[in-house]
Amino acid sequence: MLNFTNKLTKLIIAFSLLLFCGMSTKAQNRQIVLGQPDPRFNVRAESHFSTLGGWENYFFTVENKTSREYRMVIKVDMELACVGRKSFTIGVNGTVHLPPNGVFKPSQDYDHTVNSPDSKNFKDCRLPDNAGGFTLVKSVSYTISDVQDLTQIAENKASSEKAAAQKANAVSQTTATSNTVRTTQTNASAAGHPATTGTPTTATTSNSGSKTGTVNNNQPQQAPPTEAQRQVETARTLAEIERQRNEKQAEVQKMSDAITSTGTMFGDAIRADAAAKAAREERQERLDALDRQKGSLIYQQNIEKAQTGDETAISQIIYAQRLMGYGFEDFATQMVTKFNSSTARTALIGHYKSIMSGYKAESKAHLSKGIGFLVLTGLGTAGLMYLSNEAIENDGVNSSDSDTYTYAAAGVAIVGTIVSIAQFGKVGYKYKPGYLNAESKLRKLESAQTLSFAPVYNLRNNTVGVALRLNF
């Protein structure tokens, strides 16, 4: 029993030293300098080298510096020490999609990792970096190709549809005019008068003060719709879109439930889950399309008023941009800067608080995982050491089973420590650029608040109210 206690004590000490060293030497991502050949986009790259794990990760971020929507292909070529040349394409399905003023993040990309083929972990060929760590990167280059301006494609499509509609309207008007002329000719013949044609004619009176008048057989044109009529028509269209959205949601939900029930009935749970997931994705795609259509109508109806500082219109534009899947941060910031809009300010404050809360939640999750791995590692190590001690008591000090259990315990301790370190290394949310950026912008907004009365628009239930805001 004394032998077991000594071994366990040594393992715990080694485990603690590994954990301390890992926490003390937490590596940060290394920035890779890249050229920027296209002024519309900003491409950034980072690498992360793990000394213990013997691998290096690569992360790519693409920023759209324009207000247009793009899709493109970005191919990366890397010269790496120990490995050689490595080429790949960024983005799931080999494409990068950038909404207006949007950002393509590493979370939207595949995992780009180089692993050591042996236990040396690249010690003989890795390169030192400027931060005191290591890297495999010698050089990185990339090419941007097949750039599609999705905004231009949408504009061309809308222009073509508008031209087709105008052409169809012109044909319809010509047909109506022709029908009117034929009806006039028939009526005139029946009354015993010569038939008139569709060409305008001039009639004069017999007195000296005669006036010339024009007789036109074309139908009178309707007056353009008023603002109230346009609003009524827009509201009617939005109601129809919402009705279609609800129908699609109910329809696809029924299909998803039916697929799940069928899979359960035949015991094919895996296939049922895959089919249900596909149905959910299809449902979400349809709902997103309806949301984009609804957002586009709301945007077109309110953008002119929003540019004058109208609070209700500003809130509607923010709502529309959310529906269309675009970021509203740039628009809201512009409204705060130009009109000191309280609605835009409130939306931005909520947006930045949401970002910060996301980082906190993610950090808390990593902390919980790290502690969980530590507990499991401790229990596994203790259990294996107990078995090792039992083998010694049964078979003697030279027991082969005892050695096996001891090596297994050491392996569990090392692997568990590495995994725990990896989780603890992601806990420091307060030092992440995204959190710091959101916190800085939030402080600026809150410090600039003043006492004001302003109308606000509730995005959840579509109601308008009045808000009082006070800066302390």
Phi first, then psi: give them for residue 171, nearest 5 degrees.
-60, -40
Q: What is the pLDDT of residue 392?
A: 78
pLDDT bin (cut points 50, 70, 90) of residue 74 is very high
Please state the rounded mean pLDDT for residues 357-371: 87
Q: What is the DSSP string of 104-155?
A: E-GGGS--EEEE-SSTTTTTTT-EE-TTSSEE-EEEEEEEEEEEEEHHHHHH
Q: Are residues 353 and 445 in the same domain?
A: yes
**Least confident interval from 265-269, 377-381, 388-392, 421-425:** 265-269
The answer on pLDDT for 397 being more than 80 is no
* Ramachandran quadrant class, 36 (left: phi over 0; alpha: psi -120 to 50; beta: rest): beta
Q: Whole-model pTM?
A: 0.40
Q: What is the pLDDT of residue 385?
A: 87
Q: Are residues 329 and 472 in the same domain?
A: yes
Within a domain: 277: yes
Q: Are residues 339 and 458 in the same domain?
A: yes
Q: Are residues 298 and 270 in the same domain?
A: yes
Q: Which residues pair with 42 in a beta bridge?
A: 63
Q: Could you say which of 149, 175, 198 is where a domain stops?
A: 149
Burial environment of residue 470 by CB neighbours within 10 A (0 to 12, 13 to 18, 19 or more): exposed
Closest-CA residue to 346 (of 440, 439, 445): 445
The answer on pLDDT for 471 being more than 80 is no
Q: What is the pLDDT of residue 202?
A: 40
Half-sphere exposure of 64 (CA within 13 A, CB side): 24
Q: List Cβ neighbours of 125 (8 Å cut-off, separation of 6 or more).
A: 81, 82
Chain segment 160-194, per-residue pLDDT in tens: 888 888 888 877 777 666 666 565 555 555 555 55
Closest-CA residue to 350 (of 308, 370, 310, 322): 322
Domain that includes residue 257, residue range? 230-306
Chain segment 289-347, per-residue pLDDT in tens: 888 888 888 888 898 989 999 999 999 999 888 888 777 888 889 899 889 998 999 99
Q: Are residues 16 and 55 in the same domain?
A: no
Q: Are residues 107 and 134 in the same domain?
A: yes
Q: Are residues 294 and 364 in the same domain?
A: no
Averaged confidence pLDDT in the chain? 76
Q: What is the pLDDT of residue 402?
A: 78
Within a domain: 435: yes
Q: Are residues 369 and 456 in the same domain?
A: yes
Chain segment 5-57, per-residue pLDDT in tens: 555 555 555 555 454 444 433 446 888 989 998 999 999 999 988 877 778 89
Q: Are residues 278 and 351 in the same domain?
A: no
Q: Are residues 334 and 454 in the same domain?
A: yes
State the total domains in the chain: 3
The answer on pLDDT for 140 being more than 90 is yes
User: Cα–Cα distances in Å, from 452 out to 3, 90, 306, 312, 467?
Assistant: 75, 47, 19, 15, 8
Q: What is the pLDDT of residue 450?
A: 54
Within a domain: 191: no
SS3 328: coil
311 vs 457 pLDDT, higher one: 311
CA pair distance 465, 469, nearest whole angstrom: 13
Q: Are residues 467 and 332 in the same domain?
A: yes
- Residue 93 sits in a domain whose CATH number is 2.60.40
% of the chain at pLDDT higher than 70: 70
Q: Are residues 12 and 59 in the same domain?
A: no
Please state the rounded mean pLDDT for residues 397-406: 74
Count the neighbouring beta carbons within 10 Å of the beta carbon of residue 300: 11
CA pair distance 422, 337, nearest whole angstrom: 42
**Least confident interval from 57-66, 81-90, 118-127, 195-204:** 195-204
159 vs 176 pLDDT, higher one: 159
